[in-house]
Amino acid sequence: MHITVLAGGIGGARFTRGLLHHLSGIGDGDVDVTVIGNTGDDIRLFGLQICPDLDTVMYTLGNGISRERGWGREDETFTVKEELAAYGVAPGWFGLGDRDTATHLVRTQMLAAGYPLSAVTEALCARWEPGIRLLPMSDDRLETHVIVDDEEPGTRRAIHFQEWWIRHRAGIPAHGFVLVGVDEATPAPGVIEAIRDADVVLLPPSNPIVSIGTILQVPGIREALRATAAPVVGVSPIIGGAPVHGMADACLAAVGVDTSASAVARHYGARRSAVPAGADAGGILDGWLVHASSDSASVDELTPLGIATRAVPLLMTDIEATASIASAALDLAASITR
């Protein structure tokens, strides 16, 4: 059995850790998991190519993640960051850890030597042994930029996603997102095959706009999801009208989507309609998990639209709770296949 997961950073990584725990619990060694990671958050700073979401997945599944922060390395120090600040070198807002910097150095050196990001990621994962195959969504350099107001009234400018997210804590209004480079981008080797040949495709509770939404923009990926024979099941990152962590509400507002579990599902859209049964409905979802009980009303709202919806507890409080969420997603997928 092949499971393919489209993931951002923390939400995607934690869900996948729970999925692997569930699979090992049922003793199913015959399952392989491929994670397609968002690279729209990538940023080049101080000459280093930094891939925050790929690293979050790699460190989380390789047991190197900071449990306290949820990103970056455990036992981290920030001497390099402090020394850069002492030189007055901007930006000072990016959390560049010393241990983490070694990862960025290896990656940057390999990219400079001509290796594609997918090969670099595989090489980095050889150390961390994450128990999954981690593929960047694309080997092409892609960056999410955010359209914000400029100082001069009536004019706008674009800033890097990380500047908006970390420096401004998503606190300045966004008018939209641009994935710079997407027109010429292609999926990384193996990405389309991983979706096409999957038995189940899972969308973890990652940010629907700037994590999963970004992956869907890479030419060919959305089409592959729409065409795969595998059921596509998602988990809501929105519980009771708010993100569990972070500022996903600011991203949803920027593209005119309500911050609710059902609005996110409708944004993804059903692959096939319920009436007439099986007609192409233009979206990517077959199934959707919402939080019980705050969002249970979504079940009756979404099921007639062709999105098989179930309400189960969706808080990833510990690995057992997260494994239960993954198990519920696989159960829902199995019910759709039948």
Binding positions for Ca ion, rule: CB under 5 A: 8-9, 41, 53
Ranked by CB distance to Ca ion, the top (closest) residue is: 9
User: Would you give the DSSP letter of residue 184?
Assistant: G
Tokens for 270?
């059903």
- Chosen residue from 11, 37, 40, 231 binding ligand GDP by CB under 6 A: 11
CA distance 167 to 224: 35
Residue 118 or 206 having the CB closest to ligand GDP: 206
In the bound complex, what is the minimum distance in angstroms from residue 137's beta carbon to Ca ion? 12
Residue 314, binding choice from ligand GDP, Ca ion, none, Cβ under 5 to 8 Å by partner class: ligand GDP
Closest CA to 219 of 252, 181, 256, 255: 181
CB burial of 276-302 (b: ≥16 within 10 Å; e: otherwise) equals eeeeebebbbbbbbbbeebbeebbebb
265 forms part of the interface with ligand GDP (CB under 6 A): no
Contacting ligand GDP within 229-258 (CB under 6 A)? 235-237, 239, 243-246, 248
| 118: helix, strand or coil | helix
Residue 8 or 187 having the CB closest to ligand GDP: 8
72 forms part of the interface with ligand GDP (CB under 6 A): no
287 forms part of the interface with ligand GDP (CB under 6 A): no
Residue 156 or 169 having the CB closest to Ca ion: 169
**Residue 233 near residue 200, CB atoms below 8 Å:** yes
Q: How many CA atoms lie within 13 A of 143 on its CB side?
A: 16
Location of structure tokens 């994590």: 211
53 forms part of the interface with ligand GDP (CB under 6 A): yes
In the bound complex, what is the minimum distance in angstroms from residue 161's beta carbon to Ca ion? 8
CA distance 160 to 203: 25
Residue 245, binding choice from ligand GDP, Ca ion, none, Cβ under 5 to 8 Å by partner class: ligand GDP
List of residues contacting ligand GDP (CB under 6 A): 7-12, 53, 56, 205-207, 211, 235-237, 239, 243-246, 248, 314-316
